[in-house]
Amino acid sequence: MGVTGKLIVIDGIDSCGKSTQVDLLCSALDKESIPYIVSHEPQKDGCVGKLIYELLNSYPLNPYSMALLYTADRADHVIRTIEPALDDGLIVILDRYHCSTVAYQGVHCDPHDLWELATMFPEPDVVFIIDGVPEVFAERNKDSNDIFEKDLTFQSVVRKQYLRIAALREKYFLLNGHSSPDVIHDHIMRRLEKEGII
């Protein structure tokens, strides 16, 4: 069966407001009775995803090993969730996708090598990258125990990776993460309309 659904990704550095925008988008689709599913990477219910969450806060591996783990989790995610939903004609909304692997592991790995890992996965129809200053975003989640969220120098380098991604790839759009949630949501909705997704 051919892929008939649409794949929307919302991405960006930690605490940029991805979850808020996913929720607002879901509410908008509910109002229009547009069928969709929402998912998140890494998967919290997958065996590889669970290992990733454990390693992130206990024993982080080298970037290439982590990139391969994220890719293994994504392969399972695609087979179990993403492709079946697309084949059913649903809109699939993802909180993070392969661009996260390129942005985060690309700090220490060759981004070209990381993009090669994505060739087996469905290409997103549109990717929204919420951009902004890590120090500002960190204020939103002061109580986080995530070692990567607390490392603002690292987050700044990851931000630069996201900016490069948005500049080089089609269908990847930057959003000002310092704008109000409603303004960001309005930009998302107008872009989805322009791209013929909704």
Measured CA to CA, the distance from residue 139 to residue 92 in angstroms comes to: 30
Strand order through the sheet with 91-95: 36-40, 91-95, 6-12, 126-131, 172-176
Model pLDDT for residues 22-45, shown as the tens digit of each residue: 999 999 999 999 999 999 999 988
Q: Which structural domains are found in the chain, ordered by start?
A: 6-194 (3.40.50.300)
**Chain-centroid distance, C-alpha 188:** 14
Q: What is the mean pLDDT of residues 68-91?
A: 96
Determine if the pTM surpasses 0.85. yes
Q: Which of 64-73, 98-107, 133-142, 180-189 has the lowest average pLDDT?
A: 133-142
Detail the DSSP E strand segments found in the chain.
Answer: 6-12, 36-40, 91-95, 126-131, 172-176
Residue 133 binned pLDDT confidence (cut-offs 50, 70, 90): very high
